[in-house]
Amino acid sequence: MSRLRQLAESRSRPIVTAEFPSIDGGNLDTVKAKLDPILAFVDAINATDNPAAHAHASNSSIAIALKMLGAEPIMQVVCRDKNRLAAQADIVGAALFGVVNVCALTGDDVTAGDEPQARRVFDLDGPQLVKVMSGLAEGRYLSGRKISPAPELFVGAVENPFGPPQHYRVERAKLKSDAGARFMQLQIGYQPLVLESFIAGCVANGVAARTALLPTVVLTKTARALSFMHDNVPGISVPEPTRARIAGASDIPEESFQLTLELARHALSLDGVAGIHIADFRHDGSLARLVSELNLSVSEPTDPSAPSDPSDPSEPNAPTAR
Amino acid sequence: MKFLPIVELATKGPVFDCRMCGQCVLHSTGMTCPMTCPKTLRNGPCGGVRDDGHCEVKPEMPCVWTAAEGRSHHALMPNSWEDHFSELHPPVDNQLRGSSSWLNLITKRDKQFPAGWVGRTMADDGAEPADEPRSALGEVDDISGLDQGFHERTSIG
């Protein structure tokens, strides 16, 4: 069983996931060099799928490489670049290599990238892709053709609690949870109150209990990074006071770190949050420092599917819902 | 183009900017056509909606799903439509593009989903060949040996 799934089901401790940087050239050593500084501090790592509509080494190739190098990948699949045939083939193909965690995204539009002339696909949308992934896990393609044996998959999705219409985002999380998403990474956000109300809504409608909600924080080093995200990344807005706080700080890199630490502490304090997802734009060891200052341990969780010691009466036979 | 699609386009085109997808969902989207979304999303707004509620791709255009969500609560819309708003809509059937959604509604053609979408397998529906999957087209030396469905699916016009 994947560690992500184990933790999402047991909730025995907070989950830590991270974004893997994009790879363009090189070989497996190139991937290893990017992995080594973060491997010990995370439970699972996102293999992204042409993020921000820029072509990079593919989601499945990076997911397989991460698996080969001893990490647990989360293979993102976006709807922008591939139709239903290609998306299903990638997932089933990567599963042959032990890529279990898959995460469905609609994907930024092609106009957000460096090839705005590209044809956009969007044959499926995000919620539909979640349901298609769930079908694959149950041993059938969308067409109904059987897959035997069924690939072992742990299906997830993303949601943006900060995107308008904000009151509807809870419904949308439920739509994806109902379609089979069992973990959900949330968009980067700098509005703690908005996150709070989203999480509270997900607790109220039952999503938080069955789908592990993972808010995202991002490690930045400069004032420009915040303005860039605010101005250029669709769906991310950074309030003016927050930007002013960083721009006016005497030690901008340290103040940026403290901001991320505060946001992460706040997110993890919310009832209904299962862990944290970290995007690292600093690559200076800050990810390790963040995990350490949050007192998060990512030691191997006990495997509930392993035979339990009969002499230990505290070990329940069935996983209990919390 | 046959008669009915022409009438449908002439009616719905100017009012809803209809794209003739052939599987109309206007009644469950507050009368806002989701096919005018640049990503043709059928299940709600993407994560890229701008703070002002406008489209990530076309900043001058209000997000069709943000508009639809607002309209789904409108007093003049039947309550039953509001209930349908958050239902999961199936993937678009690209075979229906250009055909009349009215006809497809009456004939229930727009309710024919892939077996896997409704949790079934082809074998459940008796549609899966008992032997190994048919050979790829590259290995077929006599196209008359292909099943009837192949010719229907690939006919042009």
ipTM of the complex: 0.84
Q: What is the mean pLDDT of residues B106-116?
A: 88
Q: What is the mean pLDDT of residues A208-221?
A: 98
| Beta-carbon count within 10 A of A18 CB | 25
Contacts of B15 (CB under 8 A, 6+ apart): none
Partner B contacted by A124 (CB < 8 A): yes
Residue at B41 is within a domain: yes
Contact residues, chain A, for B43 at CB < 8 Å: 125-128, 175
**Single-letter residue type at B25:** V
Q: What is the mean pLDDT of residues B55-70?
A: 91
**Percentage above 90 pLDDT, chain B:** 27
**pLDDT value, residue A206:** 97
Cα–Cα–Cα angle for A24, A30, A36, rounded to 5 degrees: 125
**pLDDT value, residue A316:** 43
**pLDDT value, residue B140:** 57
Give B7→chain A minimum CA distance, Å. Answer: 27
Q: How far apart are CA B40 and CA B33, in angstroms?
A: 9
Residue at B74 is within a domain: yes
Selected residue with higher pLDDT from B125 and A32: A32
Partner B contacted by A140 (CB < 8 A): yes
Q: How confident is the model at residue B19 (pLDDT cuts 50, 70, 90)?
A: confident
| Beta-carbon count within 10 A of A90 CB | 21
Option in B38, B47, B125 nearest A160 (CB): B47
**pLDDT value, residue A247:** 96
Element (H, E) at A73: strand A73-78
Q: What is the mean pLDDT of residues A100-120?
A: 96
**pLDDT value, residue A110:** 95
Residue A52 has pLDDT above 70, yes or no: yes
Q: How confident is the model at residue B129 (pLDDT cuts 50, 70, 90)?
A: low
Residue at B136 is within a domain: no
Residue at B134 is within a domain: no
Q: How confident is the model at residue B93 (pLDDT cuts 50, 70, 90)?
A: very high
Residue B68 has pLDDT above 60, yes or no: yes
Please, what sign has the CA dihedral across residues A94, A16, A8, A181? negative
Option in B43, B92, B128 nearest A127 (CB): B43
Q: How far apart are CA B109 and CA B100, in angstroms?
A: 10
Under DSSP, the state recorded for B37 is S
- Which CATH architecture best describes the domain A3-293? Alpha-Beta Barrel (3.20)
Q: Look up tokens 């329940």; give the residue.
A: A316
Is B116's CB within 8 Å of A175's CB?
A: no
Residue at B105 is within a domain: yes
- Tens digit of pLDDT for each residue in A2-36? 999 999 999 999 999 999 999 999 999 999 999 99
Total beta-carbon pairs less than 8 A apart between chain A and chain B: 135
Residue B71 has pLDDT above 50, yes or no: yes
Least confident of A41-50, A249-258, B50-59: B50-59
**pLDDT value, residue B28:** 75
Q: How confident is the model at residue A312 (pLDDT cuts 50, 70, 90)?
A: very low
Contact residues, chain B, for A128 at CB < 8 Å: 42-43, 88-91
Please, what sign has the CA dihedral across residues A187, A188, A194, A197? positive
Selected residue with higher pLDDT from B95 and A204: A204
**Single-letter residue type at A60:** S
Is B47's CB within 8 Å of A158's CB?
A: yes
Q: How confident is the model at residue B151 (pLDDT cuts 50, 70, 90)?
A: low
Per residue, the 3-state secondary structure of B86-117, as one string, reads: CCCCCCCCHHHCCCCHHHHHHCCHHHCCCHHH
Q: What b/e string do you get for A222-253 counting C-beta neighbours within 10 Å, with b at 16 or more?
A: ebebbeebbeebbbbbbeeebbebbeeeeebb
Nearest residue in chain A measured CA to CA from B112: A143
Give strand pairing partners of B76. Answer: none
For residue A126, the Cα-to-chain-centroid distance in whole angstroms is 14
Q: What is the mean pLDDT of chain A?
A: 93
Say how many domains are in chain B: 1
**Which candidate, A28, A3, A52, places its Cα nearest to that of A279?**
A52
How far, in Å, are A256, B7, B87 from residue B10 at the CA level?
A: 56, 5, 29
Residue at B148 is within a domain: no
**Phi/psi of residue A167, each to 5°?**
-65, -20
Nearest residue in chain A measured CA to CA from B121: A144
Is A131's CB within 8 Å of B117's CB?
A: yes
Q: What is the mean pLDDT of residues A25-52?
A: 97
**pLDDT value, residue A321:** 43
Q: How confident is the model at residue A307 (pLDDT cuts 50, 70, 90)?
A: low
Please, what sign has the CA dihedral across residues A247, A240, A110, A61? positive
- Tens digit of pLDDT for each residue in A143-201? 999 999 999 999 999 999 999 999 999 999 999 999 999 999 999 999 999 999 999 99
Token output for B64: 């069709």
**Which candidate, A132, A3, A163, A19, places its Cα nearest to that of A72?**
A3
Selected residue with higher pLDDT from A235 and B56: B56
Is A187's CB within 8 Å of B47's CB?
A: yes
Q: SS3 of B147, please?
A: coil
Residue A267 has pLDDT above 50, yes or no: yes
Contact predicate B111/B17, CB 8 Å: no
Residue A315 has pLDDT above 50, yes or no: no
- Structural domain harbouring B65: 3-119
**pLDDT value, residue B27:** 77
